[in-house]
Amino acid sequence: MNHGPLIFLGVFAALALSWFGLIFEPQLQLGTAQQATNLVNNAELYPQMRPGLARQGLEVYRSLGCAACHTEQIGQTGRIYDVVLTDAGTNRADVVAALLKLKPGMTAAEAEHLTKAQTILENVSRPVADLAVAKLEPTSAKAQVKVTPTGPDIARGWGKRRSVARDFLFDQPVMLGSQRIGPDLADVGSRRPDAHWHLAHLYNPRIVEKKSVMPPYRFLFEKRKIERAPSPEALKLNGEFAPEPGYEIVPTDQAKELAAYLLSLRADTVIFETPMTVAAAPPVSTNAPTAITNAPVAATNAPAK
CATH number, domain containing residue 129: 3.30.1390.10
What whole-number distance in Å separates Cα of residue 302 and Cα of residue 274? 8
Specify whether 41 is located in the same domain as 120. Answer: no
- Which pLDDT score is estimated for 220? 98
Mean residue pLDDT of the chain comes to 86
Dump pLDDT digits (tens) for 81-128: 999 988 888 888 888 888 888 888 888 888 888 888 788 889 999 999
* Judgement on whether residues 67 and 163 belong to the same structural domain of the protein: yes
pTM check: above 0.85:
no
Residues 105 and 253 in one domain: no
Q: Are residues 256 and 190 in the same domain?
A: yes
Query: Any idea which of 184-188, 203-207, 269-273 has the lowest mean pLDDT?
Result: 269-273
Strand, coil or helix: 267: coil
Q: What is the mean pLDDT of residues 256-278?
A: 92
**Domain contains 246:** yes
Is the distance from CB of 156 to CB of 183 less than 8 angstroms? Answer: yes
pLDDT at 38 over 60: yes
Q: What share of the chain is helix, strand, coil (3-state, %, to 5)?
A: 35, 15, 50
Same domain, 113 and 173: no
Predicted confidence at residue 284, as pLDDT, reads: 52
Q: In the predicted model, what is the mean pLDDT of residues 5-20?
A: 87
- Same domain (yes/no): 105, 162: no
- Of residues 290 and 157, more confidence is placed in 157
- Give a yes or no: residue 174 inside a domain: yes
- Please state the domain count of the chain: 2
CA distance 149 to 2: 58
User: Phi and psi (nearest 5°) for 281?
Assistant: -70, 140
State how far the Cα of 83 lies from the Cα of 137, in Å rounded to an integer. Answer: 13
CATH code of residue 243: 1.10.760.10
- Give the confidence band of 294 by pLDDT, cuts at 50, 70, 90: very low
Whether residues 64 and 212 share a domain: the answer is yes
Q: Which helix (H) or strand (E) holds 96?
A: helix 92-102
Would you say residue 3 has pLDDT above 70? yes
Same domain as 221, residue 172: yes
User: Pick from 119, 150, 181: which residue ends a domain?
Assistant: 150
Domain residue limits at 43: 36-75+155-264
160 in the same domain as 57: yes
Same-domain pairing of 64 and 171? yes
Q: Tell me whether residue 97 is in a domain.
A: yes
Q: Are residues 62 and 139 in the same domain?
A: no
pLDDT in tens, 144-175: 999 999 999 999 999 999 999 889 988 989 99
The average pLDDT across 38-49 equals 84
Whether residue 121 is found in the same domain as residue 178: no
CB 50 within 8 Å of CB 138 = no
Q: What is the DSSP string of 225-247?
A: E-SSS--TTS----GGGSPPTTE
Does residue 304 fall inside a structural domain? no
